[in-house]
């Protein structure tokens, strides 16, 4: 969805809003939340049942390189 010119102007004219958007754009967790939300909404619409990520999937913090390698394997 392309932003309209008034939306662009309102963001460009507000340094607080601009900083918030920059922070969100550089946040991987924000992006993953939005991605999972869209996937879950579509799956729930198709399946017509409860929460998509309820038990099967969960986010796990990878604290070090060994954890990353174990996850990738």
pLDDT confidence band for 55 (50 / 70 / 90): low
In a domain, 42, yes or no: yes
- Calculate the average pLDDT of the chain: 81
pLDDT at 33 over 80: yes
Which residues fall within 8 angstroms of residue 73, CB to CB, at 6 or more apart? none
Tokens, residue 61? 């913090």
In a domain, 27, yes or no: yes
- Residue 23 CA to residue 30 CA, distance in Å, equals 9
Alpha helices in 1-73 (DSSP H): 5-12, 15-25, 28-47, 65-72
In a domain, 38, yes or no: yes
Cβ-contact 27, 44 below 8 angstroms: no
In a domain, 45, yes or no: yes
- Residue 34 CA to residue 43 CA, distance in Å, equals 14
In a domain, 73, yes or no: no
State the total domains in the chain: 1
In a domain, 9, yes or no: yes
The pLDDT assigned to 61 comes to 79
Structural domain span for residue 39: 1-52
Question: 34-50, pLDDT tens digit by residue?
Answer: 888 888 778 877 777 66
Note the pTM of the prediction, 2 decimals: 0.41
In a domain, 6, yes or no: yes
């Amino acid at each position: 969805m392309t932003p309209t010119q008034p939306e662009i102007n309102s963001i460009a004219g507000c340094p607080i809003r601009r900083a918030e958007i920059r922070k969100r754009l550089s946040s991987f967790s924000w992006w993953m939340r939005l991605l999972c939300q869209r996937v879950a909404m579509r799956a729930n619409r198709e399946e017509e049942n409860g929460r998509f990520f309820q038990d099967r999937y969960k986010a796990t913090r990878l604290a070090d390189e060994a954890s990353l390698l174990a996850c990738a394997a």
